[in-house]
Every structure is written in structure tokens, then in C-alpha cells.
Amino acid sequence: MLNFKTILVYLKNPWTASWVVTSLLAIFIPVIIWSSQRGSYYKSYGYAVELEEKQRQYYENRDGNNGNNNNNYYSYYKECSWFNWPCRKRQYYFATMEDRNRGQQDGNYRQELPGWFIFLGGAEHSEDMLRWKEQNTGMRASSSAESSGGVKFVYTMTLVLFLALVVYGALTLGKNQPVMNLEVFLVVAAVVALMNLVITAQGVISSDDRDMEDSYYGWYGQMGVLVAYTNFWIMLQCLGFLIAFRIRSYLEKRGGDKEDIDGDYDDGQNQATSYHNYTAPSENVKEQHHVA
């Protein structure tokens, strides 16, 4: 059972202290950079966009424009949480109702999205769902996943798994245990972070000007950017300690070999000194032995 005194003893180890500090930096530096960049954009441009959006919504609500165009469907619209699969499934059904009915009348086949894709939130940013939300709320939705609950879930789980690795590494280093297993975990974590970094840049972060036009925080305001930053710093931390562990192992092995060589040299010197200090027995001792 760990207590405060035990933790302090572990932190006295330079390797443990550096491991904990760099791990915390790998978590907080991306958040600081991301918050600073999105805040800077909001102060420069986003505030004006938000003010204009609120004014437009105020006038539309006052004139009753929101309800005039979609009286038949507005009562069906609902904002769904990312984990509320039945709600999202119903919303997708209502969003595609007109196209589905039109296709049946025209005899055109409409391919339906599979349930697992809807379950994982893939349909949230389809053209049908974006149009459905804009028709019922008057707000132009982004085709990116910047505010998706799924991206927030990925970010949260990334931090949870990384913190588990940090705790395991701190215990391993604090107890001066072999770091072989820790090195394996570091390799796995670095590879997973690289994979997340690539898929985030190519599939989650949007660079469409139409998506950025109405954004309050610009390109940097996307949640996917924070995920990419975090995975990049986690990858750097893992690779950095892998290199440090390898260097330490090399130096320890080299120091051990040097000690063995020095020990062999000292043994040889002692034998040589003993031989040099050897004194032959005197003639009297030889005669006594001979008489006996």
C-alpha cells in the first residue's frame, strides 16, 4: 500500500522524478498550446462571428422564421449525446425520411448506412444529418468532428491509458526494478500515439474553409487538434525515455566490464608483488632440514 512517505522516497530517485515531470508536461503542454491558439483566434475573429450569429438567431426567432419552414419535422428534432445510440438512430431516420420516400416513388435505390457505423457516430457528419440540423436549428453545422463526443471520448481514454503507464513506470523506477517490461510498453505506446496522430490529421481535423467560416475558434479550436498535440508529445516522451534507458544500460554494461578488467589487473599486480617480495630460505635453515 503506497503512502505519502513512500511516494516521496520514490521521487528522490532522479529517474522517477524526471519520469513523472516529463509525463505531466506531455499532458499539460498540448493543452496550454491549444488553449492559447484557440483563444487568440477567438479574440481576433471568433468574437465577431459569435456576436453576428447571436444577432441572426435573435432576429430569426423574433420573426418566427425557424418554425415556418419545418413545421412538419421540427418537433422530431433533438440533440443527442454521442453515447445515446437510439436517439442518434432515430435522428438519422428522420433526416433521411424525405430522400427515402422520394427514392421509393422514383424507383431509385438508396443505400442505407450500416448500424455499426451509426452506433460509432459516423453518420453525425453525413450530408443528410448536417442538412437536417441546419433546417431545424438555423445553424450551419460543421462537417468535421471538432465538437463530437467521440473525439472527446478518444482524448479522455488516451489520457487514462497514458496515466496508467505513468504510474507503472514510476513504480518500476522507484523500486529500481528492471525496465525491460516498461520499455516494451513504451514501444507500444509510441506506435499507438503515432497511429492516432496520423488518423487524426487525415480523418478528424478539418481544413475545409466552409467549416472554418462560422467557427468561433478557427482551425486550432477543433478538438482533433488537441488530440493530435497530445499524441505527439506522448510519442516524444516515450521515445525519449527509450533512448535514455538504452544509454543507461550501455553505460552500466561498460562500467561493469571496466570493473572486471580492473579487478583482473589488481589480482595480477598482487601476484607479481607477492613473487617480488618472496625471500629464499637461508643456508642454516637448509642445513637444519638436511640434518633432520
Q: What pLDDT is stored for residue 282 in this prediction? A: 54
Average pLDDT, the chain: 77
In this prediction, residue 284 has a pLDDT band, given cuts at 50, 70 and 90, of low
Q: What pLDDT is stored for residue 150 in this prediction? A: 80
Q: What pLDDT is stored for residue 116 in this prediction? A: 75
Judged against a pLDDT cut of 80, whether residue 26 lies above it is answered with: yes
In this prediction, residue 74 has a pLDDT band, given cuts at 50, 70 and 90, of very low
- How many other β-carbons are positioned within 10 Å of the β-carbon of residue 167? 13
CA angle 70, 131, 153 (to 5 degrees): 120
Question: Alpha helices, DSSP H only, in 175-282?
Answer: 180-199, 209-213, 223-276
Q: What pLDDT is stored for residue 271 in this prediction? A: 58
Closest by Cα among 152, 132, 161 to 224: 152
The full length of the chain comes to: 292
Question: Alpha helices, DSSP H only, in 141-179?
Answer: 149-174
Closest by Cα among 202, 203, 78, 220 to 150: 203
Q: What's the rounded Cα separation, in Å, for the pair 179 and 169?
A: 8
What are 267's three cell numbers? 589480482
Residues 6+ apart with CB under 8 A from 27: 159, 162, 230, 233
Burial label for 57, CB within 10 Å (0-12, 13-18, 19+), is: middle
Highest averaged pLDDT of the listed ranges 92-96, 111-115, 157-161, 258-262? 157-161
Judged against a pLDDT cut of 70, whether residue 96 lies above it is answered with: yes
Q: What's the rounded Cα separation, in Å, for the pair 110 and 21?
A: 55
Judged against a pLDDT cut of 60, whether residue 77 lies above it is answered with: yes
Check: CB of residue 88 under 8 Å from CB of residue 123. yes
pLDDT per position as a tens digit, 100-147: 776 666 666 667 777 777 777 777 767 777 777 777 766 655 544 445
Q: Which uninterrupted H or E stretch holds 134?
A: helix 127-137
DSSP 8-state secondary structure symbol assigned to residue 280: P
* Predicted TM-score of the model (pTM): 0.70
